[in-house]
Structure 1
Amino acid sequence: MTDHEAFATRNDLMLRASGIEKTFTLHQQGGARIHALAGISLDVERGECVVLAGASGAGKSTLLRCMYGNYLATRGTIAVRDDSRAERHVSLTEAAPHEIIRLRTTTLGYVSQFLRVIPRVSSLDLVAEPLITRGVNEDDARERASALLERLNVPRRLWTLAPATFSGGEQQRVSIARGLIAEHPVLLLDEPTASLDAHNRDVVADLIAEARERGAAIVGIFHDEDTRERVATRIVRLASPSPMSTTDTNEAGALQSC
């Protein structure tokens, strides 16, 4: 089934990856190649939280970055639902940069374990900014940002400060608030609880469950087993691709659902 047929006939389909391969070429190391993904296919529907599992090096974060448009897949296609278009989807692997930026505003949310700090911008403004970009009144956006920071136990004394000097856990909670506040239809979560204590992991798990219940399609990586089991509706295991030549037609990745 083509992407057009899939999105036209499956109203709950939000994200589709088909035959994804990704190879990195290290030009400063004699052109050595790293095979990060090979032959990965995955459909994600509304209300699902698909958790990626597998050993280090299996390509979990690489797959998320391909889905967000940070990396361009070497082969295969990634498509995201967009009902404003006649074909009802956008191909990330073919989209122009401005189209990817638009999707990140309207459709694709991404939370990393690392906060990309903007100098001299307060935590409150960092969290409110995605709503303001979407046209929400500034006062309303800041009110919603305050409520989310409060729920994530970020101390009020930090809200007016830029988070460059915050602890790892505090920065991560600001990053989570920024990534979740806009309630994107598709959420990509790359180890969002890696630096959190048990109590705050529980808070994040609750937020993820609420996003799923409102219909978000979620793909995430969680190394904490308790959190993974709590949020996952499906666990997909990736196996490390074989380090063979990219021209070898037998190259294939392993993908299992459980």
Structure 2
Amino acid sequence: MNMTNVFESNDALMLSASGIEKTFMLHQQGGAQIVALTGVSLDVTRGECVVLAGASGAGKSTFLRCMYGNYLATKGRIAIRDDSRASRHVMLTEAAPHEIIRLRMTTMGYVSQFLRAIPRVSSLDLVAEPLISRGVNEDEARARAASLLERLNVPRRLWALAPATFSGGEQQRVNIARGLIAAHPLLLLDEPTASLDAENRDIVADLIVEAREKGAAIVGIFHDEDTRERMATRIVRLNTAAASNESGALQTC
């Protein structure tokens, strides 16, 4: 398959994963191997929210981490749209570390279940940093960060504090704000609402729907059924052998 032709012929395509396999080698356990993914393929276009579903251990988070470049796929190819290149894409599974870092700055946003924050950096600065790294004026970046933290019900008294001692829900809302503030065209979401109460879960759902309606391509894991129904335009159900599309299994967000 010529990926250049694929991305040139489909301006909406943001991510194309083909034949992804991931095997983990347990070196401290006699070289035992765990097969996490086998033969998973997925195309994601602008304006859709693909929800990964399947039993625990099916490889949903592993697949997300492969798409973000945290894990290198054992086999297969993952291509991410990059219109600054003549080829219109970067082959993530062959990319150098500096290329992956640049894609994360310009193209791919990621929200995990847990906040991994730099010690002693305030919540406000932590959320503003993705904008500042892209050249946005610091005052504007902090103003946008404050607006997002306020919408996510993070108390103002916490904005100047590092989030290490926050509650799980407060940390997760800071994490979500940091992941969404730069309005990346591709969003990868690993259980972003897992630690939230119903009110804040609805707020996050609204933000994700707004990002999709503005054209973001989204791949997410949502175990809460109501949130999944609200988010998904398409479900991809994973097992250890393959992935099968269930287009239209849930109503469009």
State if a TM-score over 0.5 links the two structures: yes
Q: Distance in 2 between matches of 1:207 and 1:91?
A: 29
Partner of 1:194: 194
SS in 1 for 2:110: strand
Cα distance, 1:5 vs. partner? 1.7
Partner of 2:145: 145
1:184 aligns with 2:184: yes
Partner of 2:245: 256
TM-score, structure 2 as length reference: 0.96
Percent identical pairs in the alignment equals: 81
Partner of 1:163: 163
1:69 aligns with 2:69: yes
Partner of 1:238: 238
Cα distance, 1:62 vs. partner? 0.3
Partner of 1:111: 111
Deviation digits for residues 106-149 of structure 1 (CA, Å, limit 9, x no counterpart): 00000011000211000000000000000000000000000000
SS in 2 for 1:65: helix
SS in 2 for 1:34: strand
Equivalent residue letter for 2:89 = H
Q: Distance in 2 between matches of 1:76 and 1:223?
A: 27
Give unpaired runs (5+ residues) of structure 2. Answer: 248-253
SS in 2 for 1:125: helix
Equivalent residue letter for 1:17 = A
TM-score, structure 1 as length reference: 0.94
SS in 1 for 2:206: helix
Cα distance, 1:240 vs. partner? 2.4
Q: Distance in 1 between matches of 2:80 and 2:245?
A: 22
Cα distance, 1:3 vs. partner? 1.6
Cα distance, 1:8 vs. partner? 1.1
Q: Distance in 1 between matches of 2:194 and 2:243?
A: 26
Equivalent residue letter for 1:227 = T
Equivalent residue letter for 1:256 = N
Q: Distance in 2 between matches of 1:165 and 1:50?
A: 33
Query: Would the alpha carbon gap of residues 187 and 143 (structure 1) be closer, same or farther in structure 2, given more than 3 Å must change?
Result: same
SS in 1 for 2:208: helix
Asked if the contact 1:55–1:240 (Cα under 8 Å) also holds between the matched residues in 2, the reply is no
Partner of 2:250: none
SS in 1 for 2:93: coil
Cα distance, 1:217 vs. partner? 0.3
SS in 1 for 2:38: strand
Cα distance, 1:239 vs. partner? 1.1
Deviation digits for residues 198-256 of structure 1 (CA, Å, limit 9, x no counterpart): 00010011000110011000000001110010011111100123xxxxxxxxxxx2423
Partner of 1:11: 11
- Superposition CA RMSD, Å: 0.8
Asked if the contact 1:112–1:191 (Cα under 8 Å) also holds between the matched residues in 2, the reply is yes
Q: Distance in 2 between matches of 1:14 and 1:235?
A: 17
Cα distance, 1:91 vs. partner? 0.4
Cα distance, 1:2 vs. partner? 2.7
Partner of 2:50: 50
Give unpaired runs (5+ residues) of structure 1. Answer: 242-252
Asked if the contact 1:238–1:256 (Cα under 8 Å) also holds between the matched residues in 2, the reply is no
Partner of 2:221: 221
Equivalent residue letter for 1:191 = E
Number of residue pairs matched? 247
- Mean Cα deviation higher: 231-240 or 94-103: 231-240
Q: Distance in 2 between matches of 1:147 and 1:6?
A: 38
Q: Distance in 1 between matches of 2:106 and 2:243?
A: 32
Q: Distance in 2 between matches of 1:5 and 1:73?
A: 23
Partner of 2:251: none
